[in-house]
């Protein structure tokens, strides 16, 4: 459903801006094949169940970690903590997304986010899938995939 894609984009952009002072745009830059790509996923379980999957290049995670920590991107802890930063970002995003989609009445438990290195650049499928959003952040292409178990949700109150 078109609302899912829009909600993913809007929430991601809002949280990234408020938390890390990083800004998105819709321009779909070419995904870099010169960088390592990461996949971070977090599952939500409650009356509805699903998984949020995030694909980004390592460069994005370093920028995120540096901004969250308020340090220079070349600082040593940025490399060490870049995966932790993106896991925590996904934890926060998923919590907000669940509220946006399903409201704040029911309890949803989130899994511990998992991050892994991908063997190659992921396939970008946003153009043909309403549950997928693609954005650019500081020239880095990223992709958010919402995998729903059962019926595709629409945002709460929609």
Partner 1 sequence: MSHDVLIVDDSVTIRQMVKKTLDIAGLNVGEVYEASNGIEALAQLNDHPVAVMLVDINMPTMNGIQLLTRMRGNRRLKDIPIVIVSTEGSRQRIAELESIGAFGYVRKPFHPEQLRDVLKPLLGVKDHATNENDAEGALF
Residue 96 binds partner 1 (CB under 8 A): yes
Of 43 and 141, the one with the shorter C-beta distance to partner 1 is 43
Out of 55, 87, 141, 146, the only residue in the binding site for partner 1 (CB under 8 A) is 87
Residue 89's DSSP bridge partners are none
Smallest separation (angstroms) from partner 1 to the CB of 6 = 20
Q: Which of residues 114-143 bind partner 1 (CB under 8 A)?
A: none
Closest to 4 in 3D by CA, of 39, 43, 50, 37: 50
Of 126 and 137, the one with the shorter C-beta distance to partner 1 is 137
Of 8 and 126, the one with the shorter C-beta distance to partner 1 is 8
In the DSSP assignment, the letter for residue 140 is E
Residues 6+ apart with CB under 8 A from 48: 101, 102, 108, 148, 149, 150, 153
Residue 10 binds partner 1 (CB under 8 A): no
Q: Which residue has the tokens 């990083």?
A: 22
Within the chain, what is the greatest distance between any pair of CA atoms?
45
Q: Summarize as ranges the residues that interact with partner 1 (CB under 8 A).
A: 15, 18-19, 65, 68-70, 81, 84-85, 87-88, 91-92, 94-96, 98-99, 104-110, 112
């Amino acid at each position: 459903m078109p609302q899912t894609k829009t909600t993913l984009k809007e929430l991601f952009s809002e949280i990234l801006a408020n938390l890390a002072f990083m800004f998105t745009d819709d321009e779909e830059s070419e995904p870099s094949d010169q960088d390592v790509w990461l996949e971070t996923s977090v599952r939500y379980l409650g009356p509805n169940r699903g998984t949020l999957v995030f694909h980004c290049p390592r460069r994005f995670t370093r920028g995120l970690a540096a901004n969250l920590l308020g340090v220079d991107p070349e600082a040593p802890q940025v490399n060490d903590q870049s995966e932790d930063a993106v896991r925590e970002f996904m934890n926060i995003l998923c919590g907000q997304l669940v509220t946006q989609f399903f409201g704040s009445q029911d309890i949803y438990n989130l899994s511990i986010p998992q991050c892994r290195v991908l063997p190659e650049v992921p396939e970008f499928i946003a153009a043909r899938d309403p549950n997928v959003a693609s954005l650019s952040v500081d020239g880095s292409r990223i992709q958010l995939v919402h995998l729903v178990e059962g019926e595709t949700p629409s945002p709460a109150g929609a």
